[in-house]
Amino acid sequence: METAYSTKVTNLGKCYGCRIYYNDVLILEGRCVSREQIGPTFRDLFRTLDKCGGDKFTSAVRKRKFKEGNLCTQVKHIWHSHPGIL
């Protein structure tokens, strides 16, 4: 079964925008200041989605957040409201 989540990173000049889409609809966004923080930013965002009732994919990402060797970060979450999606 294929997951309905997809991600996109955009260089915004002094930072990077990390966006999560569900069925091609933007649902969550965060920003980080370096390329090294892109992975940890997505792990933190997916961890939040998993807490809100995710699926196997978000649960697996949540478990990877604290895996040895992975960088960790906490980011400000920008929610995009789309009734009926989450």
- Whether 60 is covered by a domain: the verdict is yes
- Whether 72 is covered by a domain: the verdict is yes
Average pLDDT, the chain: 80
pTM confidence score: 0.75
- Whether 5 is covered by a domain: the verdict is no
* pLDDT at site 16: 93
Query: DSSP character for 71?
Result: -
Least confident stretch, 27-36, 45-54, 67-76: 67-76
Question: What percentage of residues in the chain have a pLDDT greater than 70?
Answer: 70
Residue with tokens 């091609």: 24
Q: How many structural domains comprise the chain? A: 1
- Whether 2 is covered by a domain: the verdict is no
- Whether 4 is covered by a domain: the verdict is no
Domain encompassing residue 37: 12-79
β-partners of residue 22 are 5, 25
The per-residue pLDDT for range 56-77, each reduced to its tens digit, is 888 887 776 566 666 666 666 6
